[in-house]
Amino acid sequence: MSIPSVDVAVPARVRELARGAALRAVWLNNLGGVTFRTDDGRYIKHGPRNAETSMRDEAERMRWARRWTRVPEVIDHGEDGTEEWLVTVAIDARSAVDPRWVDEPATAVRALGEGLRMLHEALPVAECAWSWEVPARIANAAGRGIAIPADLRTPPETDLLVVCHGDACAPNTLLDDDGRPVAHVDLAALGIADRWADIAVTAMSTEWNYGPGWQDALVTAYGLTPDRERMAYYQDLWNAT
């Protein structure tokens, strides 16, 4: 996943959804999907259909989550046999991997930890219809032809069940100009799980985006002491699925 460094071809579907607005590609994912910003305050996310999650899942979860926390407002979403798309209202904030925050990793990492804690405390487990617990993730992986190693089939004892983001990598937290967490994006895998399932992935993503040595700072910003066993397990599970 990355911020585009060259011009990106605009798919016909995106031009149709833009309705004449000017477009700028702002994000590329590993599946061939592209997110565009329009000059009239929208984001248009477009890509091939994905077996792991879908933009339909994302739209449904964002509409649910925004009752308690700040996530993009869904305007439209759709799909056909080969492609899917999602249109949302833009939030006036920057991704935690915007060049500004990559140059200020201490601020970004603190915001990631604080923002994840805020998300976990805001979303009500009792009202969440989706699971991101280990059995659900293993079943999802099996449906995509991925065999999970035997040593990852039994997770550590649950610490605390929360509504997890499901893809809490650094790019999916938005920061205001003062470096405070204000919103989350890309919630297609949102569901109930042990909070360490999210924490471990966010911690791991600090190394991808800011370099080594930030994992413990992320956990501290969340408000916990690093749990090596849980972090290692959920990072290995992430990599395996």
Is 186 among the annotated ligand-binding positions? yes
167, 176, 216, 236: the active-site residue: 167
Structure tokens at 136: 């659900």
- Catalytic site includes residue 92: no
* Cα–Cα dist 20/167, whole Å: 32
172 annotated binding-site participant:
yes
According to DSSP H, which parts of the chain are helical? Answer: 12-18, 55-65, 99-102, 105-122, 134-143, 195-210, 215-222, 228-240
**Other Cβ atoms closer than 10 A to 171:** 21
Buried b (16+ CB within 10 A) or exposed e, 36-62: bbbeeebbbbbbeebebbbbebbbbbb
Q: Rounded distance, CA 105 to CA 77, Å?
A: 34
Annotated catalytic residues are 167
Which residues does the annotation place in the binding site? 172, 186
Which residues does the annotation place in the binding site for Mg(2+)? 172, 186
